Chains A and B, each alone.
Chain A
Amino acid sequence: MTDTITETSTAEQAKNGQALVQIKDLHVWYELKKFGFSHAGYVRAVDNVNFDLNYGEAIACVGESGCGKSSLMKTILGLNIPTKGDVIFDGEPLTQTKGENLRRYRSKIGYIQQDPFGALPPFMNVERILEEPLIINGVKDKEERRRRIEKILEEVKLTPIAEVLPKFPHMLSGGQQQRVVIARAMIMEPKLLVADEPVSMLDASVRVEVLRLLRKLQETHNLAVLYITHDLSTVRYFSEYIFVMYAGEIVEFARMDDLLDDSKHPYTHALLEASSDPNADNALVQREIPKGEPPSLVNPPTGCRFHPRCPQFMPGICDVKAPPNIEVSPKHLVACWLYDENRGHAF
């Protein structure tokens, strides 16, 4: 899944001819220890993940809890160290970045947390919250800091600015809190925004407003966005590409419309089947849900990790060898033996 995936090239891209983020053969494993010292195996949270994210492009990562999407995100943010493989951000490999450089690396990525109230320090007012990243990153001029804070608040539409600045997080509504979080993520003018379920804690009526704001910021700043969610219904309005993760691996990668309208992997089918649109007829049907639960990542199933739950499981193939990434149509990759012509009999 290493093809570059957009045709549109920005000036920056033309400069170095590379994607903004290149995830190469990324493995993030956490070591388990017995009695605190002797080795007792690994939790294989992210296993062999490859993708590129270009300048100004939005990509959605969909998966259930425990599928490794948070580990992937934390690695991109520079908070986890890859066990194997690398994240190359703006030409800089993460594994080679240390100390002061690592801090600079992190300042180029904005992070939007899931729970805005939990993400904002309760004892700081909005001005202080937004000033903090600027101070840490060495913007010494007070006027300059003030100017940037006002500009970003204008952009996230938290107005009137003079009224918002002295407020503490508990004095703001959920939607406003999330705007402060977005403003804080944007204040260092990052090239990449990582949004971890940015709207899941918000009310339905506010949700759309925040999604639109994110899209507008993405367009005006030519931002790359990694949008992480478990809710398929919000992704259509936001990103061009989408990938689905299951048990630490990417199982399907496609253009948004291709995936939503013509999904290939049985797991993607199941996710789509389980998501409902408001319709009174929903109450009359029993939905087909794969039995069981996601596997333990300490001892993942052999072969395809979805095979114990898969309705189209083929004994002797799926449980023996992990499926390769098969390109079913241009830029639509799926890791499933169903789409292999000789059904894996080649091995």
Chain B
Amino acid sequence: MEKQNDLVLKVRNLRLYFNTRGGPVQAVDGVDFDLRKNEATVIIGESGCGKSSLAKAILRLLPRNAGTYDGEIWLHDMNIMNMDDETYRKEIRWKRISMVPQAAMNALNPVMKIGDQVAEPAMIHMNMSKEDATKSAVRMMEHVGVPVDFLHRYSFELSGGMRQRSALAMALVTLPDVVILDEPTSALDVLTQASIMNLMKRMKKELETSFILITHDIATSSELADNVAVMYAGQVVEVSDAHRFFHQPLHPYSHALMASVPRLRETIEPEFITGQPPSLLNPPTGCRFKDRCPKRFDKCDEEPPTVLVDVDRKVKCWLYV
């Protein structure tokens, strides 16, 4: 499509393996996806499919046992995989790509005032003075709907929703190009969750920011998604725009995943997926979903290619070759 110029982040063949006593764990194994300006790409997958490792790989927050780590991550026209760690830390992390970690509401520092915490990234990464940083913190807190007098409160004085908003303000205060949200609403109540989603929809329009939303909750993911990438056993098995994906998923796994969502407004019986995802220590050859797939055939024992089915729709499955 003609939107190429708007590409903010382009991930190609990204791999992150962890070394363990049993051998390398292929947590992220050849992941490709794109992110455009003012859009959100949702990474959907079950626990253990490597979606949080993908976030770590993009932000280069690698644990000590990280082994193979390669591929390309293009931020605008720059391949940030070629940077050394120090330049990456100074130029990219939090300045250009920031993150709201899982259970961010409990990740706030209990002995620091909220205002100081929100201002801190601006001071460290943007070299702002304390006054300027506080000013932009106030601006960002207004943006995300935290009352300004919360500036001088501590995190335990805030409700879950307000803490989540503060964590979001922290990630946004440096006005990064990309914000990675790792399960941003999973620990919140229904109403709070919906209002945080409302807020993020608004942020996406108002700020020059793109979001990567990592979640296992398919219903909530549709609240923010412009594009969807489905991960299974360390690989992306389907990439699509949200509209076509939620209407008609292509990969048999996406299909099964969508069918497993209990619906509130429809009476279709949800279905579950039999079996378990494979171990990432020694993933099966060929398609990794084949043992659970209802549409398995002989070809599936070979590694499936990624097929471009339609404009901007890719699926890693032999059925579409």
- A residues contacting B by CB (< 8 A) are 64-65, 173-174, 203-209, 211-212, 230-234, 236-237, 260, 270-280, 282-283, 286-287, 289-290, 293
Known: A236-B267, A277-B266. A209 touches B272 (CB 8 A): yes
Structural contact, A208 and B222, CB atoms closer than 8 A: no
Most chain B beta-carbon neighbours within 10 Å: one of A173, A277, A278, A290: A278
Name the B residues within 8 Å of A203 (CB-CB). Answer: 46-47, 216
Distance (whole angstroms) from the CB of B215 to the closest CB of chain A: 10
Which residues of A are found within 8 Å of B219, using beta-carbon distances?
233, 275-278
Partner pick for A287 among B197, B216, B226, B271, CB 8 A cutoff = B197
A236 to B267 CA separation, bound complex (whole angstroms):
8
Contact partner of B264 (CB less than 8 A), chosen from A174, A233, A283, is A233
Q: In the complex, which residues of chain A have a beta carbon less than 8 angstroms from the beta carbon of B269? A: 237
Using a CB–CB distance below 8 Å, which chain B residues touch chain A?
40, 46-47, 159-161, 189-195, 197-198, 201-202, 216-226, 242-247, 256-258, 260-267, 269-273, 276
Measured CB to CB, the nearest residue on chain A to B186 is A200
Question: In the complex, which residues of chain A have a beta carbon less than 8 angstroms from the beta carbon of B201?
Answer: 283, 286
Q: A276 to B246, alpha carbons, bound, how many Å? A: 13
* List of A residues within 8 angstroms of B195 by Cβ: 287, 289
Partner of A282, one of B222, B244, B260: B222
B258's partner among A230, A278, A286 (CB-CB below 8 A) is A278
Contact A236/B190 with A276-B220, A276-B223, A282-B223 known, Cβ cut-off 8 Å: no
Q: A276-B219, A276-B222 are in contact. Are A289 and B260 (CB under 8 A)?
A: no
Q: Which A residues are in CB contact (< 8 Å) with B260? A: 204-205, 207-208
Residue of B nearest to A260 (CB): B264
B264:A280 contact, CB within 8 angstroms = no
Measured between C-beta atoms, what is the minimum distance from B141 to chain A in Å? Answer: 17
Q: How far is the CA of A277 from the CA of B218 in the complex (A)?
A: 8
The list of the 4 closest CB pairs from A to B, nearest first, reads: A274-B194, A205-B273, A209-B272, A64-B189
Contact partners of A64 in chain B: CB under 8 A:
189-192
Between-chain CB contacts (< 8 Å), 16 pairs = A65-B160, A173-B276, A203-B46, A203-B216, A205-B272, A208-B260, A233-B262, A233-B264, A236-B264, A275-B190, A276-B194, A278-B221, A280-B244, A282-B222, A287-B198, A293-B192
A276-B264, A277-B263 provided; 13 other pairs, C-beta below 8 A? A64-B190, A205-B256, A207-B272, A230-B190, A233-B264, A273-B194, A274-B191, A278-B219, A280-B245, A280-B246, A283-B223, A287-B195, A289-B198
| Assembly CA distance A208 to B201 (angstroms) | 29
Report the Cα distance A212→B264, complex, angstroms: 17
Q: How far is the CB of B218 from chain A (nearest CB, A)?
A: 5
CB <8 Å contact, B191 and A289: yes
Across the interface, do B272 and A212 meet the contact criterion of CB distance under 8 Å? yes
**Of B202, B218, B246, most A-chain CB atoms within 10 Å:** B246
**A279→B245 CA distance, assembly (Å):** 9
The complex places the Cα of A290 from the Cα of B195 at a distance, in Å, of 9
Query: Given A233-B219, A270-B191, A274-B194, is A283 in contact with B225 using a C-beta cutoff of 8 Å?
Result: yes
Q: A277 touching B265 by the CB < 8 A rule? A: yes
Contact indicator A204/B261 (Cβ below 8 Å): yes
CA distance A282 to B221 in the complex (A): 9
B191 touching A279, Cβ below 8 Å? no
Contact of B262 among A65, A173, A206, A207 (CB under 8 A): A207
Find the residue from B159, B190, B218, B222 having the highest chain A CB count within 10 A. Answer: B190
**Which residues of A sit under 8 angstroms from B217, Cβ to Cβ?**
204
List of B residues within 8 angstroms of A289 by Cβ = 191, 194-195, 198
B221 partner residues in chain A, CB cutoff 8 A: 278
- When the two chains form the complex, which single residue of A207, A209, A260, A286 contacts B198, counting CB atoms closer than 8 Å? A286
B contact residues around A260 at 8 Å (CB): 264
Question: What's the minimum C-beta distance from B316 to chain A, rounded to whole angstroms?
Answer: 19
Report the Cα distance A270→B192, complex, angstroms.
Answer: 11
CA distance A277 to B40 in the complex (A): 18
CB neighbours (8 Å) of B272 from chain A are: 205-209, 212
Chain B min CB distance to A256 (Å): 11
Q: A174 — nearest CB in chain B belongs to which residue?
A: B47
Q: Which A residues are CB-close (under 8 A) to B202?
A: 286
Q: How far is the CA of A330 from the CA of B41 in the complex (A)?
A: 47
- Nearest CB of A to B108, in Å: 18
Complex: chain A residue closest to B243, CB-CB: A280
Contact of A283 among B161, B189, B222 (CB under 8 A): B222
- For residue B276, which residues in chain A have a CB less than 8 angstroms away from its CB? 173
Residues of A within 8 A of B245 (CB): 280
Tell me, rounded to whole Å, the shortest Cβ–Cβ distance linking B67 to chain A.
Answer: 24
Minimum C-beta distance from A316 to chain B (A): 26
Which residues on the A side are within 8 Å of B197 (C-beta)? 287
Chain B residues with CB below 8 A from A174, complex form: 47
* Cα distance A270–B244 in the bound complex, in angstroms: 28
| B222/A65 in contact, CB under 8 A | no
Q: B193: which of A208, A209, A234, A274 is its contact (CB, 8 Å)?
A: A274
